[in-house]
Structure formats: C-alpha cells, structure tokens
Chain A
Amino acid sequence: MPGFAGKLLFGLALTIAATFVLLIVVGLLAGLLAPFLGSVPISYNFRSIRARWTSTIVAVLGIAGTVGVFVAMLSLANGFKATLVASGSPGNALILRAGSPTEMMGGVTLDSVRVVQDAPGVARDSSGPLVTQEVVGVMPFPLITTGTDANVQVRGVSSNVLRIRTFAKIAEGRMFQPGLSEIVVGRNASRTYSGLTLGNSVQFGGGHWQVVGIFDAGGSAFDSEIWCDAKLLNEILKRPDNIFQSVTVHLASPQTFQQFKDAIVSDPRMNVDVTREIDYYAKQSTTMTRLITVLGGLVAAIMAIGAVFGALNTMYSAIAERGREIATMRALGFSSSNVILSFLFEALSISFVGGILGCLAVLPLNGLETNTMNFQTFANVAFAFKITFDLLLVGIVFALVMGVLGGILPAIRAATRPVAVALREL
C-alpha cells in the first residue's frame, strides 16, 4: 500500500533528520562549553590558530561570506515585507468588492460607501465620518536610473485621507485641493521617478498636473505612490462614475473592527469583503517575499555547502599538520574526548569569528534603498534592506552550525589515531 510505505518512509526521514539536528545541537553545546567540560587548555587552540593564520583566515572568510550573503538576502525579503506591512494600520479597515484579491480589481458603489459611512465602529471627527473611497491605477513614469518607464501606483483619494492614514504627513508643500489638477507625491516616488519634484508640472492621463506637495508615509508602500483627487482619476481611467475600487475606514478603535465588520457584512445591499488593512497588505507582499526568500535561501544553502567543505578542508589539514602535537598531548594523558572537545572549540571559534565578520560586513546595507515591481499589483514599490537583531542572531547560529559540521569529523579523526603511529610521523 503506497500510503503505508509512504508514511514509513516519512517517519524514517523524520527520525534521521531529528537525529541529525540533535547531533548538531549536542556538538554546538559541547564545543561552546568545551573549556568548562575539560578540554585541552584553550591557549593551545589560540596559539595554533596564530601559527597557521593564513589557512584560518581563508576559513573565516569562507564562513563570513556565507553568513553575509544569508543575512543580506533575508534582510532584503524582510525589508520588502516590512514596507508593505507598514502600509497597513491596525486601526483601519479595508473594504473591497467580495472576492477581489487586490484593490485594482474591485468595485464598490457610492451607495455602499454611504452605508459604510453610517456604520457603527467608524471614527468620526468634525469633518464627518473618517472614510476615504479610492480609485487606483498604474501609470507609466520614467525611472531616474534607466530613463525607461515603470508603472507607478496612482491613487485617487478623498480629501480627508490624511486623517485616516494618520502615519502619512505632508513633508513639503501642501495637500492637493479637491477638484483641481493637483497631485501630492510620496517621498520614495519623488526620488525614483523623474519630474516628480515640488512645483513641477507633469503630464499623465492626457492632462497636466501640478505637484503641490511631497508626503512622508513612514516607509510604507504609500511612499511610492502618487495621490490625487478620486473623482478626477476616475474620469481619466474612464471608469463608470461613482464606482470606487476600495474604501478605507479609520475605526473608532482597533477593537471595534468586529462590530463594524458584522454590521457591514450582514447588510444585504452590500457585496463586499472587510479586512483589517494590515492583513490585506501582508497578503500583498507574499509573492515577492516568497520569491526573494526562495532564491536567497537557495544561494545561501549552496554557499553553506561550499563553506562547510572549505572548513572541513582547513580542519583536516590542520590535524594532518599537527599530528605529532596531538599524539604528544594524548601521550601526556589527555583523553580522546578532551582532544575532540578541543578541536570542536577551535572550529566553533573560527566560525564564530567568521559569523561576526559576515554580519558586520552587511550591516552597512541596512536601510539601503532599492525598488522593484510587485507582481501582485503591477506597481513599482521602493523598499530598503532591513536587518534586525534576530536576523543577525540567526546568521551567527548558522555560522556556528557550519562550524560544528566542519569540525566534528576531523576532531573525531584526530582523537582516534593511534598515538604510536602519529608520533612516528615526520
């Protein structure tokens, strides 16, 4: 029965994998605690390293390179995800037509918008309910770097949008006036596309628009967008009047989300999905994040194998050269386990230094900006490398694991060669 055999095989693979992981963890702990567990004095290790410093440096560089690449790729994916997640606020809810995976494919009527405005749980201030009904499209603008066109997300918003997206603020100039051919441009968009500077006039959609302000949206995807009046954009995109693509609502408090959602969804006139803004944007990042993580993970995995080979080579050569020293130590009375611990400790020290070096080498990348097209929305998004403390921690652990893999076999070999044979070698 294929089912049973399959399960058996899976169980076997799992057991082997678990054993492997256990061995690595044991090796790691043993190596790190070696000085306390009774190995050869560690001054011996440090002096050996100094005596054979060229090979050690190569091994350190190999590990540093791998860790650096690993952390860099993960921070790239991290940065992309962070930008998109930052776009969502837990205090906002997003309303899309039922079944639409993205804003671009949505359609919410003005009547539905009115129902939303009257729903419970919606924040209100002096200007009325904090609801913005929006239209989105992508339009070509030339990139400063290549001169060729990239698709920029242009969002038609209601004039009270800044009170709903409270993390967005006008950094220079002012907000556009409703009904006029004016636009405000996100900070990143202004830096990525030519012509989007304060006071400049740009042409799109068959008309001229004045850039009256630059806004800062706190490092979210909105920083790569251009905002203008929703009604005007609707006309340019030749969409039917009074149909918007999304409605964003500022909730009275994040806790009122459920109450708001229930009220909307139970209304028979409404054919919409209600999600927390933060959940929607997390979903928008999945494809790109997955692509970068998979590609980066593959490169890092391949590199790790190469680095482990390099470390193994270095360790084996070290043991070959130090054959007589090891035999002498054992003749003096150190046991095999002392020697193994000693070599494990040495391998781990080398890989630890390599890991630190790798992390330090990529730290300058933190905050470095780049941009790419988000597959899911066709729009260009600017984002930055984001290196967090736990990412660095993962990098160091990765380095230590490579150290264990590269050190354990040579260590065992060193400890098990017959003393008399080793002493006899020239």
Chain B
Amino acid sequence: MKFSGLIFANLFRKKIRLALTIGSFAVALFLFAFLSVVRDAFNRGADIASADRLFVINRTSIINPIPLSYRDKMLRIPGVRMATHDNWFGGIYQDEKNFFPQFVIDPENQRQVYPELIVSDEEWKQFVNDRQGAIVGVRTAQRFGWKIGDRIPIKTTIWGAGNWEFNIDGFYHGKRPQDDETQFWFQWDYFEEHVPDTLKGQVGWYVVRVDTPDDAVRVAKSIDAEFANSPFETKTETESAFAASWVKQFGNIRFLILSIGTVVFFTLLLVTGNTMAISVRERTSELAVFKAIGFSDRMVLFFVLAESLAIALIGGLAGLLLAFLAIPVLANALNGMLPQLVLAPSMFVVGFATALAVGLASGLLPGLGAMRLQIVNALRRV
C-alpha cells in the first residue's frame, strides 16, 4: 500500500481520460446487469416453479376448459394431496395497456397450494366473506395506487360482456423476490353466478399438490390416464416442465437479445482496454526512469496492473450502483410486458468479478510491454 500515493497520482494525471474510462467501464457493467435481469425475467416461470405442484390443462388446447366435475375424481387419485382450480379472466381495466393477470380462484384451497403467496389472515377472512371481494398482488396495487376498500371495475371480453365490479379486500406479497406479485384474484362462486349458462362449470386449469415431489411424474401420468378417452382429455405436467416449455416458446428472442448484448459488452471492453494501453504507451519514458532508479521489472508490471485494476474497480462499482438505482425505474416502464425485473445478489458478484477480470486483462499486455522495456531504448524516445 505504500505505493498507493504513486498509483493515484498517475491515475489523476489526465482527469478527463480517467473519467471517460471509468465511465466506459460503468456503462459496460450497467449493460451486463440489465441483460442479466432481462434474461432472468424471461426464465422466471421455470425458476419459481415448485417441485410438488402439477399443472393440469386440456390436452387438445390450452384454451379449452376442463369440467369442474373432474375435481372429485382427481382428489381420489393416490398421491394427490389437494387440488385447486382456476380460470383466466383476462379482462380489461380501463385500457388494454393496463394489463395484469386476473384469476378466478378457489378460496378454499388457494393458500395451501400456493403457500409462498402470503395474505394476512384478517384480510383473507374479509375476502372470503365478501362475494365480490378481490385480493391483489402488491405490485399491481402499487402500480394503480389501489387501497383496501376501493371498488374496481373490470371489463370482460371472454366471459360474456360488460363490466364486473370488485371490492379490494386485501393484498398478497410473495415470500421470495422473484415471486409474481401482480395477480388479481376473485371468487369462483361470484364468477359462476355471473357467467353465461353455456360457460358454467368450466375450469381453465387445475393445480394439484402432490404428497412428495418424487411422486410427481407418476401422479401426472395417473391423472391423464384417468381422463383419457373422455370428452375432455387432460395433459398434466410438473409446474417446472410447464414453465420451461412456455419459456422455450420465446426461446429465440431471448437468445438473440443476449447474443447481441454480448457483442455489445465485448465491444465496450475492447474500447476501454485500448485506452489503458494508450495511457501506458504515453508514459514509456517515465517507466524507464523508474527502472533506472532501481524498481524491478516486476514492480513496473505491478504499477500498470494496479492502475488498470483501480479503474476497473471504480468503474465496475459505479456501473453496478447505477444498475441498482436505475433498473427498478426501468422495470416500471416495462410493466405488464415482462415479468418483474429482479436484481439478484449473485449478479452483482459475477459482474464485479468480470470487471476485475477485464481490468486485469486490459492492463496485462501493456504491463508486460512495460516490464520488458530496455531502459536505454525507452529513454531514447523523447
């Protein structure tokens, strides 16, 4: 550390260049953070899927219903601990752009099947007793500034026509930062009362909780076997398989964005590496003087590396800090288009390590050049 004064003095010789190089590093790291977050958002479903939950949908088409009457038969299959049924309401709140997922849920089983989505007991009780009640995820509530007691009109396009109104009785939040906190839940009974007769008694999908995750595949097959050759054949998958194949449908876009992002990242790093090389080249005669007064070759290498690492450190931290502050703001801009953007601690660690690695790499070549300088030749260059 006794050379820190020297290193800093060297760094601050050309302040503008220092600022620009740190800026380039910061930009590269910000981009890295942004792309990681977007990639995670695309992967989200697969990440949060639970090992002991199964999704049961209609085999012919995901948009075809399954009868409510199948529920009892499903519960009798060995290995099934409990089941809940849902429908996709898909209504519009004021404007199509205000999209958030609305589900018709079965209040009796919802919380046991989804224990990671937490509602206070008091609010849940109020919801259960209120036929027109609704529970909303905290992110959607924040987005629209809703409070308990608000009356929300939602227009339906799938289930008949007209405006349905709900009272907000409570909010849910997720246990983990990646859990989906944008859903809007309301009561199955209210739904059944108000849909046209032709659409009654139809479930969009079932979610089944199995006794043990190891049993999941066997139970899935048993469920499908039970309803094979019936007018509504089922397709049962573990939640993670369902989410994974859903994500794969976006597959290519994700790959394209990420490969483009990688190109971008490396281009930026090339630019910063070159700048460090320039600054070392400029100081050839000074480095020669260091050697002449007695510093060893390795010390000279150390000086160069220390400088480039310092720039990488500061630039990397700045970029990651910027990401930490700016990405939540960006997430709001992308509301409804992507699952929520979450900053994972691991991303910061990887980003920081990458920055240091690049700092090292960009300082290495010029440093080795400096190390091998022959004093006589270097001093001759004036």
Contacts and interface: CB of A to CB of B under 8 A. Distances in A.
Contacts of A143: 248-249, 251
Contacts of B59: 206
Given A65-B264, A306-B27, A312-B20, A380 B249 contact: yes
Interface in B162-204: 198
A236 B252 CA distance: 31
Given A65-B264, A69-B263, A145 B157 contact: no
A79 to B, nearest CB: 11
B64 A372 contact: no
Interface in B125-176: 155, 157-158, 161
Interface centre among A73, A139, A295 (most CB of B within 10 A): A295
B17 interface: yes
B1 interface: no
A11 B369 CA distance: 54
Contacts of A100: 157
B159 to A, nearest CB: 9
Interface in B333-355: 333-334, 337-338
Interface stretch (B71-79, B270-278, B297-305, B370-378): B270-278
Given A55-B278, A69-B260, A313-B24, A237 B64 contact: yes
Nearest to B333: A294
Interface string A289-302: 01110111011001
A138 interface: yes
Nearest to B21: A313
A61 B270 contact: yes
A48 interface: no
B100 to A, nearest CB: 13
Interface in B54-92: 59-64, 90, 92
A309 B24 contact: yes
Interface stretch (B28-36, B111-119, B210-218): B28-36
Contacts of B38: 295
B255 to A, nearest CB: 9
Interface in B227-252: 231-233, 235, 244-245, 248-252
A64 to B, nearest CB: 8
Interface string B262-305: 01100110111011001000100000000000000000000000
B62 A378 contact: yes
B382 A426 contact: yes
A194 B63 CA distance: 22
B27 A206 contact: no
A76 B253 CA distance: 9
A146 interface: yes
Contact of B244 (A105, A138, A148): A148
A310 B62 contact: no
Nearest to B246: A373
B14 interface: yes
A295 B257 contact: yes
> Chain A interface secondary structure, helix, strand, loop or mixed?
helix
A316 B272 CA distance: 14
B107 interface: no
A259 interface: no
A370 interface: yes
Nearest to B252: A370
A139 B63 CA distance: 8
Interface in A188-206: 204-206
A295 B39 CA distance: 12
A203 B248 CA distance: 22
Interface string A412-426: 000000000000001
B6 interface: no
A146 B246 CA distance: 12
B307 to A, nearest CB: 15
A185 interface: no
Interface size class of A (residues with CB under 8 A): 35 or more
B256 A76 contact: yes
Interface in A109-138: 137-138
A27 B267 CA distance: 26
B330 interface: yes
A240 B199 CA distance: 10
Contact of B20 (A61, A204, A309): A309
Contacts of A328: none
A66 interface: yes
A205 B257 CA distance: 35
B198 A240 contact: yes
Contacts of A290: 337
Contacts of B24: 306, 309-310, 313
Contacts of A137: 61, 63-64
Contacts of B96: 101
B9 interface: no
A371 B64 CA distance: 24
A206 to B, nearest CB: 6
A303 B14 contact: no
Contact of A299 (B250, B264, B282, B337): B264
A349 B183 CA distance: 53
B16 interface: yes
Nearest to A304: B27
A98 B274 CA distance: 62
A416 to B, nearest CB: 14
A262 interface: no
Given A66-B267, A303-B31, A316-B17, A149 B60 contact: no
A321 B338 CA distance: 48
A294 B38 CA distance: 12
A73 B249 CA distance: 19
Contact of A292 (B14, B235, B253): B253
Contacts of A35: none
A137 B252 CA distance: 23
Given A58-B274, A426-B382, A291 B337 contact: yes
B363 to A, nearest CB: 16
Nearest to A72: B260
A302 B34 contact: yes
Given A62-B267, A105-B158, A290-B337, A313 B17 contact: yes
A233 to B, nearest CB: 10
B271 A62 contact: yes
Interface in B4-29: 14, 16-17, 20-21, 23-24, 27-28
Interface centre among B34, B261, B264 (most CB of A within 10 A): B264
Given A139-B61, A299-B34, A378-B63, 9 more contacts: A69-B260, A105-B90, A105-B157, A140-B62, A145-B252, A148-B244, A240-B198, A294-B337, A372-B249
24 contacts: A54-B274, A62-B267, A65-B264, A66-B267, A69-B263, A69-B264, A101-B157, A138-B63, A139-B61, A146-B251, A149-B245, A151-B249, A237-B60, A238-B64, A238-B232, A291-B337, A291-B338, A294-B337, A303-B267, A306-B267, A310-B268, A316-B14, A378-B63, A426-B382
Interface of B: 14, 16-17, 20-21, 23-24, 27-28, 30-31, 34-35, 38, 59-64, 90, 92, 96, 155, 157-158, 161, 198, 231-233, 235, 244-245, 248-253, 256-257, 260-261, 263-264, 267-268, 270-272, 274-275, 278, 282, 330, 333-334, 337-338, 382
Identify the 8 closest CB pairs spanning chains A and B, nearest first: A65-B267, A310-B271, A148-B245, A306-B27, A58-B274, A370-B252, A373-B249, A306-B268
